[in-house]
Structure 1
Amino acid sequence: MKQRWVSIAVLAAALFAINVVARLVTRFAFPDNDSAENKVSIVMFAVVGLVLAVVAYRWAQRVRLGTWLPELAAAAAGAMLLTILVGPFVSGDYPFSGGAGNFFSQVWLYGGFAIVGTLLGYWVATALGRDYRSKSLKAFTIAKTTKPRRIVRR
């Protein structure tokens, strides 16, 4: 049980680190440039989606969907909360300083990219037959076809 929380916390910290790097790049490389800040934010959300796609692809191969999906969702939700509530302090701002519209747009963007990234990772694993269920069905098929025929006596 402890191992599950460690993987969730490590993933959430990695996703938050992506946000911290993006905020520091924006703060020091593009001060007072809203256009560059928006572009860096979109790139950051895309990287978060890509990381979640890779993690979903890897976890889908090892364990059932019902096991890894809640863990991935918890890590993404934790990272989103850190990004929205703690992240602004990294760039010298406050969570609600941009207004409610900015706050909720970050929530929707983060959630959207996280969901799409997770779905893409799982769909790729499924399409390639590398997910846990496909592997289980393949093993079942092999076991059933290689089993010797039972002889029925009358």
Structure 2
Amino acid sequence: MDRRWRTIGVLAGGLFAVNVVARLIIRFGFDGDDAAADRVSLVMFVVIGLALAVVAFRWARRRPLAEWAGDIAVVVVAALALTVLVGPLVVGHNPFAGGAGTFFAQIWLYLLATGLGTMIGYLVATALGLDHRSQQLKRYAEVKAAKPRRVVRR
């Protein structure tokens, strides 16, 4: 159990670190350029989505969906809270400075990126037949095919 929470914490911290790096790049590299800041933010969301796609792909191979989906949800909620509330403070801004529209837009974009990344990772694993359930069904079919057919006497 301790290892499970450590993994969740490290993953949430990694997603938050990606956000902090993007905010620092925007702050020091493109402070007045909104178009460049939007591109950096887009790259940040793509990196976060790809990271969760890789995690979902790896976890889908080892554990059933019901086990790891809750872990991903906790990771996303923790990283989202850190990103929206603590991230702006790291670069010296107020989390609510842009208004309610900007605040909630960050939340929706983050949920969209993480949701798409997780779904893509899981769907790729399922399409390739590498997810936990597909492997169980494959093993079941092999066991049933390996047993000799029983002769029925009448």
Unpaired runs of 5+ residues, structure 1, are none
Amino acid in structure 2 at the alignment position of 1:52: L
Amino acid in structure 1 at the alignment position of 2:69: L
Q: Deviations over 1:59-116 (max 9, x none)?
A: 0000000001110111011101100000001221011011110000000000001111
Structure-2 residue corresponding to 1:127 = 127
**Does 142-151 or 126-135 show the bigger shift?**
142-151
- In the aligned structure 1, how far is the partner of 2:49 from the partner of 2:115? 8
TM-score, scaled to structure 2: 0.96
Aligned length: 154
Q: How does 1:21-100 map to 2 (within 5 A)?
A: 21-100=21-100
TM-score, scaled to structure 1: 0.96
Unpaired runs of 5+ residues, structure 2, are none
Amino acid in structure 2 at the alignment position of 1:47: V
Amino acid in structure 2 at the alignment position of 1:27: R
RMSD: 1.1
What percent identity do the matched residue pairs reach? 55
